Amino acid sequence: MKKTVTKIGVLTSGGDAPGMNAAVRAVVRTGIYHGLEVFGIMRGYTGMVENDIFKMEGRSVANIIQRGGTILKTSRCKEFLTPEGRKKAYGNLKKLGIDGLVIIGGDGSFRGAQTFSNEYDIPCVGLPGTIDKDIAGTDFTIGFDTAVNTAVEAIDKIRDTADAHDRLFIIEVMGRDAGYIALHSGIATGAENILIPERKTDIEEVIKQLAEKERRHKLVNLIVVAEGDDFGGADEVAKIITQRLPMQEVRVCILGHIQRGGSPSCFDRLIASRMGYSAVECLLEGRHNVFVGMVNNRMHYTPLNEAVKKKQRISEEWMKIVKILAS
């Protein structure tokens, strides 16, 4: 028999992503529409452990859909990783009568939700809020589109100065374990090389290509590197290129946390709103312990225990496109 949900909590966990506020807004307003009480949990699982929880109304989420970051704040909570911490968190939820949770975050957040739900029978629904797009079971994650567009805008500007000075720019984007930001922004800006964690970097091949372009007097080059590239990121790549090709004028630009911030794109606002709405519908329908994704523009539901085991894979076709278009 499915468990009836009457009070739900919503939290944002892990790294912030543009569009998280749109998702929170959708959860709150959909919950209220269905007659549920909705509680905001501050600073992710830390708020559950420390009882930093407050009741939300429709006006609590007014004028936030266009804001980056998250009004609920976020953090990584070591105490929640312990049985004692989770027990304390459950006690705080129990006092308020919260009997369902919506967790907006990445795979680490989903692992926490899965463990907690298994121990205490609290239904959980996850929403993929991460700029890295590294969760299997969804074509897009909340924040990815905004982050990529931020990177593209920055790289376009860098290409202007690269062209003015005939320089090689090595641009590092976020992506510790996944190269989607590097891949998408690199293709969109015409990068000559894209280095990602999913593929072992053949630095000799990179140098060979640059040497050939130097011979042809093609001196303006862009290399986009994901921070988790196995060679060590932009600085290490620049170091060896400078040693091997001393005639190249090399500059490094690390985009860093600007990719996390800023007003979410229209696309991120739309998918966050759809996912937030669907999360509440899942809890009401008894479809628990899943994360809500989007595949072929349809809502797609993946069990949490599967979501934490799988990663998105970059297809060989993408890498072939990179090679052909950069030649």
Which of 83, 13, 90 minimizes the C-alpha distance to 49?
90
**For the chain, give me the number of helices (H) and strands (E)?**
11, 11
The alpha-carbon radius of gyration of the chain (Å, integer) is: 22
Give catalytic status of residue 121 as yes or no. no
Which of 36, 47, 35 minimizes the C-alpha distance to 71?
47
Q: Are strands 37-41 and 7-12 parallel, antiparallel or unpaired?
A: parallel
From the list 132, 134, 145, 229, the catalytic residue is 132
Structure tokens at 139: 């074509």
| Three-class DSSP category at 260 | coil
69 contact partners, CB below 8 Å, separation of at least 6: 16, 18, 20, 21, 261
Q: Please count the other Cβ atoms lying within 10 Å of the Cβ belonging to residue 236.
A: 17
- What residues are labeled active site? 132
